[in-house]
Structure 1
């Protein structure tokens, strides 16, 4: 797994440092999203010197390079998710169990055309995240 993560980092033009590899390993094992504080609490025992600012900095760098996905939660806390799908897609985020599922269809094309027609603009990128309860949590009647 570490070699695969190193390959992902190198493809993104980043060094495969032990801390970055540990962050990716932990997020992939989670199979959901995690906060910087949660990651720091788990990883600080593995490294002699690992401060919370270092975790934040690495998460931002990994996100900016496209290796990680930011999950914007209704509680206004920022979380991160490791998505190995390189294709253009969006995510459904379960607010109860933290599971993140790929949504392969986009459907933004019509909105992009509307922006072009209405104001002559050009959409360069977009982010779509759907929040809710996954099937398992919805059946259990859990609340977000």
Structure 2
């Protein structure tokens, strides 16, 4: 995972002005093991910066995602972000639906897809959702296919 300085360096290299709020965001994501919703980030930032709007937080999350600093994943309960992997090679993830632990998939399944000859792929995402070994042992209604 990227550390705080690596996040700030990437943001600066892309021409983004490094403000105190952006330093705080970089530190928050570098020190968080897992995913944060925009609401989580807004509540955290709001404790330090009075008058901060949700729109400002969300806009910064989107910019950081577009710069490749944050990864964005859509869970059943909404969109969440986490710091981008430091690994330089292209890869995808398996994500636990309960604890949100993330495991890398060290190959890309894209070459195995049946893309029509007239379709030009410009980017793709591939995530696999399930339950890690630890969470499988815990009592979770969705593990067994239940819908409670």
Give the TM-score range, shorter chain: 0.7 to 0.9
Task: Measure how far apart 1:143 and its partner are.
Answer: 4.6
CA-based RMSD of the aligned residues comes to: 1.9
Match of 1:84 in 2: 85
Task: Measure how far apart 1:96 and its partner are.
Answer: 0.9
Q: Is the 8 A contact 2:8 2:26 kept in 1?
A: no
- Unpaired stretches in structure 1, ≥5 consecutive residues: none
Q: Is the 8 A contact 1:95 1:132 kept in 2?
A: yes
Q: Is the 8 A contact 2:4 2:30 kept in 1?
A: no
Match of 1:119 in 2: 117
The answer to which structure has the higher helix fraction is 1
- Unpaired stretches in structure 2, ≥5 consecutive residues: 143-148
Match of 1:37 in 2: 39
Q: How does 1:7-86 map to 2 (within 5 A)?
A: 7-75=9-77, 77-85=78-86, 86=88
TM-score calculated relative to the size of structure 2: 0.81
Task: Measure how far apart 1:131 and its partner are.
Answer: 1.1
TM-score calculated relative to the size of structure 1: 0.83
